[in-house]
């Protein structure tokens, strides 16, 4: 089974509108972390936001927020007030287990290509 599932290969949004990118995950661990990264066409992965499995509140970072629904195992990224520069590939990723001995392998989804239009 896929550990990280992103079901939207591509999304379009109008400038200044909000957009939600979906991510569901599968793990049997109680302790895990969820990350969202942005990858422009240049290739560099840019960290956006983090949500820990024990965090009771949804994470927010500027225009980015993470809609964390633990029972549904979903961690959707919400981008408010979209800008042309938000056009990029977006990846959801998970680190399973606690941070023991330095282990921090990330498992990525297949990504969602977001296009912001005027």
Partner 1 sequence: DAGVTQSPTHLIKTRGQQVTLRCSPISGHKSVSWYQQVLGQGPQFIFQYYEKEERGRGNFPDRFSARQFPNYSSELNVNALLLGDSALYLCASSFRQGAIDTQYFGPGTRLTVL
Q: Which residues bind partner 1 (CB under 8 A)?
A: 4, 33, 35, 37, 42-47, 50, 52, 54, 91, 93, 95, 98-99, 101-111
Q: Which is nearer to partner 1, 52 or 62 (CB)?
A: 52
- Least spacing, CB of residue 5 vs partner 1, in Å: 11
- Least spacing, CB of residue 31 vs partner 1, in Å: 8
- Least spacing, CB of residue 40 vs partner 1, in Å: 11
CA-to-CA distance for 77 and 65, rounded, in angstroms?
A: 6
Q: Which is nearer to partner 1, 10 or 81 (CB)?
A: 10
b/e burial code for range 38-75 (CB count within 10 A of at least 16 → b): beeeeeeeeebbebebeeeeebeeeebbbebeeeeebb
């Amino acid at each position: 089974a896929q550990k990280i599932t992103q079901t939207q290969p591509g999304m379009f949004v109008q400038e200044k509108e909000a957009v939600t990118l979906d991510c569901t995950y599968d793990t049997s661990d109680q302790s895990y972390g969820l990350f969202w990264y942005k990858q422009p066409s240049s290739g560099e992965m840019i960290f956006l936001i983090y949500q820990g499995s024990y965090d009771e509140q949804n994470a927010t970072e500027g225009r980015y927020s993470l809609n964390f629904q633990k029972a549904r195992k979903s961690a959707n990224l919400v981008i408010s007030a979209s800008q042309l520069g938000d056009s990029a590939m977006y990846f959801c990723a998970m680190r399973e287990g606690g941070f023991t001995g330095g282990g921090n392998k990330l498992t990525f989804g297949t990504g969602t290509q977001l296009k912001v239009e005027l």
